[in-house]
Amino acid sequence: MKILIIEDEPDLLDNMVQSLQKEKFLVETADTFLSAMDKISMYDYSCILLDINLPGGSGMDVLQEIKKLKKTDGVIIISAKDSLDDKLTGLTFGADDYLTKPFHLAELNARINAVLRRKTFDGQNTVSLKNLDINYDNRTVEIDGVPLILNRKEYDTLIYFISNKNRLITKTALAEHVWGDQTDEADNLDFIYSQIKNLRKKLKESNAEIEIQAVYGIGYKLLTGD
Q: How many other CB atoms are found less than 10 A from the CB of residue 35?
A: 16
Question: Is residue 8 helix, strand or coil?
Answer: coil
pLDDT score for 123: 65
Question: What are the tens digits of pLDDT across the range 125-184?
Answer: 788 999 999 988 788 999 999 999 999 889 989 988 988 888 899 888 888 877 776 665
On whether both 111 and 143 belong to a single domain, the answer is: no
For the chain, state the CA radius of gyration.
18
On whether both 104 and 175 belong to a single domain, the answer is: no
First to last CA, the chain: 26
- Which amino acid, residue 187? D
Q: How many domains are contained in the chain?
A: 2
Q: What is the CATH number of the domain that holds 182?
A: 1.10.10.10
pLDDT score for 72: 83
Please, which pLDDT band fits residue 188 given cuts at 50, 70 and 90? low
On whether both 9 and 47 belong to a single domain, the answer is: yes
Question: What are the tens digits of pLDDT across the range 15-28?
Answer: 999 999 998 888 99
